[in-house]
Structure 1
Amino acid sequence: MSPDVPSTDGPDGAGPQQWEQMLRAMLGPAADDAIREMRELGVDPAAMAAASGLPTDPAALQQAMAQVQRMLAASGDQPVNWQMAHDLARQQAALGGDPSLSPGRVKDVRDALSVAELWLDAATELPPSTGATHAWSRAEWVEATLPTWRVLTEPVATSLSTALAGALGPAFGELCGALPGGLPGGAAADPSQLLRGIGSAVFGLQVGQAAGTLAREAFGTTDIGLPLLERPAPALVAANVDAFAEGLDTPLEEVRLYLALREAAASRLFAHVPWLRAHLLDAVAEYARGITIDVEQLEDAVRSIDPTDPSALQAALSGGVFAPQTTPAQQAALARLETALALVEGWVDEVATASATPHLPHAVPLREMVRRRRAAGGPAEQAFASLVGLELRPRRLRDAATVWAHLAATRGIDGRDAVWAHPDLVPTSEDLDDPAGYDARRQAAVDESADLDRALAQILDDADGASGDAPEDRPAG
């Protein structure tokens, strides 16, 4: 062996410590999963370590590139490697144990959801969703919600992948062209395609990490504001409900009932307000479509990074060098999403607590605990924010709950819920600032629309009258 080649004998005989340390510096907590995925896909870490230790040896570098390409080929043309995301999410969800639910625990959850539906009938005119109730393990939550994670993240992954390939493709092609015979696979191996494969694998790891971590935190399918089921149906993750109750001076049964009320209320809202889910997801997609990358900043960063220095790579990645630049259009989309999330959570907060207060002694403290939990966010929400640039926290939840309480007081429950009939009727950010002025602003909008209709009708009447003049009555010339 050449004296420049680092030892490839790790303590378990499975791979070089130097290469693994570099991956851990680059990927952080996700590195172990990345290493495991490489080995399962037949990638030899020893060859990759040889390449990192012998940057002047083209043959070793070519061998490593060939093995990396075989790993990335599993991504196909997908912007996210969903097999990798699925496997990692299941692994993350199982940390600390995730046993199947016993029949008794399933019954406890379903009974709580059934009671919640009965109590909600007195607090909202929206009927129950038609979907069956569920009591889930964390793994079952992952399986049920992963299709929506696909909808949420693929537009962002596609935009970022395209931007990165455009920014780095030429330089990466020159680097690969220096290898004997070019890229493994010959002319069909496009540098831009290889970069897209790298992006797909990285996004797969990130999505899997976020979804798997959230599986250990989420109470149900709606408590992050976005509906994670295409067809709404109330469900609770029993282990997460139990874990939340452990830190409270409130009986588990009462905590379970309060969280069941929130989940069932949100399911009713998404089931019977057909435009709402699309409105939220479209705001995410609109944000994604506007993703651009500062190419000059990116190229400068790439030129300044020593790929053999893990600390330099880590500093570049954590410093936001590769972060997308937010445009005014994206900021507007984020503002609409933030308001919509606040309105959804505010309505759920108000309706669930109104339903719980006559029955649960700790309804008000539980409401405050959930509010604080949502305001603070958690590791999974932070991971999602770093992934797509969105923070799924309703910053104005309290203001939104005040608006819905005001509408219930002035219009009654029927009038409050009727506001969801059309997007133009729902409260705006201005209404969150001044709930008492909601009715006056809507009446002013109606009056303005009526004035416009009258003016348009007058113009059309005048035009019809002019066109009806006889030719001899019209002025000459």
Structure 2
Amino acid sequence: MSKFGFGFHGPDDSDDDRDKDNHDNQFGFFFGGPLGGNAGGKGGAGNMGAGNLGDILNQFGSMLSGFGTDMNSPDGKGPVNYAMAKRTARQRIAATKKDTRPRHSDSQAVADSVRLAELWLDEATILPAGASGSVAFGPAQWLDETFDTWKRVVTPLADKLGDAALGGVPEEMRSQLGPLAGMMKQINAMNFGVQLGNTLGEMASDVVLSTQWGVPLAQGETAAIATEHLDAMAKKLGCEPREALIYLAAREAAHLRLFKHVPWLVERLILDVEEFAAGLSLDYSAMEEATSDFTPESLNDPAKMQEMMERMQGQDFSPQVVSSNTHARERLETSLSLIEGWVDYVTGVALDSRIPAAAMINAAWSEFRNNGSPAMEALTKALGISFTAPKANEAVELWRRLDDAVGVTKRDSVWDHPDFLPVASDLDNPAAFISNVAFDEDEMEGFNPISEIEKLERELNEKRDENGQSDTDGQSDEK
């Protein structure tokens, strides 16, 4: 991994030096489970595709060939076998035949677009530029650069889900498992690894920005765009490829301004995921309710069995992921909505007078984001938490009205501290939040909110110290 995230490639790069693990064969998975299913529909992450028996056996042999290495790898330990996940993702990427290494001219086009976008963004926000460089990237590079972040996000969720899955085993049976319990955990880890790999492989083949979901998945501050998908994205946005590239560059640069100059933001997003994971469990109520009428006597009643089968037809009885810490999910979704809404707004302001179709492009991106991707939907269903921004449109309206009321400087100063940010209810009814920010300028003169918070914290600490000293003195007097 490069020092600044997303390494640079010169004009002599070729496909010959591509990772040796990228084999040109379809990798179908054979497990069911939390990350399973038909994430991509026909031909998607969970589809083996058509083929004769020899093809299927070759695929199965390819899967088995790396099991020993994956099991003994340091990344093969824990709730997810990440060695298997990465190998599976690479094979999935190779099967899409989309992993062409970007040319030097692609990275040059991205660099020119980012420089132009940064100049325009300077007029739309007080946050200075955050990108340390720029690059065009391909699917395999995205996988490598984002994999460590995915591990941090997925591990606590998979760990709790693995415990919850074993918790579904009756107590009397669990006590008799003995060494089999460890084997079950290994199987679960392999299951997670294969299916996570398929999901990430499909995402890697479709992603267009390193910050596409409002989370800085890659380490560093490099603005990265998948130029291979530029023509397809231009069609979705209803514009020319050049306009699409500038728009994507502006979005990427705006995200990096936030992530660099609001230092607490990234950690807060990850901590919300970890807090949500701490309360995870599996809800088996759908299956329990469906089978509540089943009795041994039912086996001897064909009519009743037929009725039960018809009632269960087409229903989803897989255990649902739930969490007692739903407030953490709400806070994450609100933060992502505020991030995406802010980026939507400042990008629109920056491009509005420069690109005639800017408003239309922004609206098309919003629709593209709201539609989501099958792989992200599968990941959301599996983990119980969404990395989408469900109220980004409402956040755009909040930032617009706040800008009208208080101006750019005070609008962006809201990012100075997490306590200043709008909460979920403010997205539905922003008037009260805006009026709180827009109080009389005379009251604001000489007022430093950060200093006031620090002063309050010092006073509280001093009061605690005094109370502690008083308690100690009282105990000495009694003696």
Scaled by the length of structure 1, the TM-score of the pair is 0.71
Q: Distance in 2 between matches of 1:88 and 1:42?
A: 11
User: Which residue type is aligned with residue 323 of structure 1?
Assistant: Q
What residue number does 1:286 align with?
275
Q: Distance in 2 between matches of 1:196 and 1:148?
A: 23
Contact 2:405 2:434 in 1 (8 A): no
Go from structure 1 to structure 2 and tell me whether the alpha carbon gap of 1:93 and 1:115 turns closer, same or farther (over 3 Å shift). Answer: farther
User: Which residue type is aligned with residue 152 of structure 2?
Assistant: V
Counterpart of 1:240 (choices 217, 225, 229) is 229
Q: Distance in 2 between matches of 1:436 and 1:88?
A: 49
SS at 1:341 equivalent: helix
- Per-residue CA distance 1:359-378 (angstroms, 9 max, x = gap): 11110110000001111111
Contact 1:84 1:201 in 2 (8 A): yes
Contact 2:321 2:382 in 1 (8 A): no
Q: Distance in 2 between matches of 1:300 and 1:35?
A: 39
Scaled by the length of structure 2, the TM-score of the pair is 0.71
Moved more, 206-215 or 116-125: 206-215
Counterpart of 2:208 (choices 216, 219, 231) is 219
Unaligned runs of 5+ in 2: 1-27, 39-44, 50-55, 295-308, 471-479
Moved more, 251-260 or 213-222: 213-222
User: Which residue type is aligned with residue 234 of structure 2?
Assistant: A
Contact 2:236 2:364 in 1 (8 A): no
CA drift at 1:122: 1.0
Moved more, 385-394 or 242-251: 242-251
CA drift at 1:357: 0.8
What residue number does 2:370 align with?
375
Aligned length: 390
User: Which residue type is aligned with residue 157 of structure 1?
Assistant: A
Say whether 1:136 aligns with 2:137: yes
CA drift at 1:165: 2.9
CA drift at 1:271: 1.0
Go from structure 1 to structure 2 and tell me whether the alpha carbon gap of 1:322 and 1:71 turns closer, same or farther (over 3 Å shift). Answer: farther
CA drift at 1:279: 1.1
- Listed as ranges, the matches of 1:159-174 within 5 Å are 159-168=160-169
Q: Distance in 2 between matches of 1:24 and 1:290?
A: 24
Go from structure 1 to structure 2 and tell me whether the alpha carbon gap of 1:167 and 1:122 turns closer, same or farther (over 3 Å shift). Answer: same
What RMSD, in angstroms, separates the aligned Cα atoms of the two structures?
A: 4.0
What residue number does 1:323 align with?
320
CA drift at 1:191: 1.2
Q: Distance in 2 between matches of 1:239 and 1:157?
A: 33
CA drift at 1:164: 2.1
CA drift at 1:233: 2.5
Moved more, 394-403 or 288-297: 288-297
What residue number does 1:39 align with?
61
SS at 1:263 equivalent: helix
SS at 1:325 equivalent: strand
Q: Distance in 1 between matches of 2:332 and 2:278?
A: 15
Counterpart of 1:276 (choices 243, 249, 265) is 265
Contact 1:72 1:194 in 2 (8 A): no
SS at 1:234 equivalent: strand
CA drift at 1:294: 4.7
CA drift at 1:257: 0.3
What residue number does 1:145 align with?
146
SS at 1:145 equivalent: helix
What residue number does 1:253 align with?
242
Contact 2:146 2:218 in 1 (8 A): yes
User: Which residue type is aligned with residue 273 of structure 1?
Assistant: V
Q: From the two aligned structures, give the one with the greater helix fraction.
A: 1
Q: Distance in 2 between matches of 1:299 and 1:400?
A: 40
What residue number does 1:88 align with?
88
Contact 1:138 1:239 in 2 (8 A): no
User: Which residue type is aligned with residue 220 of structure 2?
Assistant: R
Go from structure 1 to structure 2 and tell me whether the alpha carbon gap of 1:409 and 1:202 turns closer, same or farther (over 3 Å shift). Answer: same
